[in-house]
Amino acid sequence: MSYYITDNCLDVLDQSCAEECPVDCIYVGDRRAYIDPVKCIDCGNCLQVCPVKAIGKTPALDDDSRTALNDNNEFFIEILPGRTEPLGSPRGSLITGEIGVDTARVGGL
């Protein structure tokens, strides 16, 4: 199981989730944040501190949750606008800094 960030994060970007993440797996796009599913250790720290309840967990997905999960994963595997290759699973958001772009779906909202 892994956590993912939903559209409740759109244009909020509180980033308290990233501050609480012990493995530095939460990356900031332009309008929302994304959790690296490869690095997430399922600790739940992000879930506990999110002020807008934007963190979801993979079991029991409805259609909206499935869309958010897929979008979260695409952030790491698809080529984002303005980039030449997928982000992949970088060494940590403290190293990369803000990515500054979102998936095509979030960019179109």
pLDDT tens across 33-83, in order? 999 999 999 999 999 999 999 998 876 677 888 888 899 999 999 999 999
CATH number of the domain residue 7 falls in? 3.30.70.20
Residue 13: per-residue pLDDT: 87
Q: Which residues contact 3 (CB under 8 A, 6 or more apart)?
A: 35, 40, 42, 44, 46, 47, 55, 56, 57, 58
Confirm whether 51 is domain-assigned. yes
- Residue 80: DSSP 8-state: P
How would residue 11 be classed by pLDDT, with cut points 50, 70 and 90?
very high
Confirm whether 54 is domain-assigned. yes
Report the number of distinct structural domains present in the chain: 1
**What pTM value is reported for the model?**
0.89
Q: Which residues contact 32 (CB under 8 A, 6 or more apart)?
A: 5, 7, 9, 10, 11, 12, 13, 54, 102, 106
The overall average pLDDT reported for the chain is 90
Residue 62: per-residue pLDDT: 79
List the one residue out of 70, 69, 75 whose CA is nearest residue 28. 75
Residue 60: per-residue pLDDT: 64
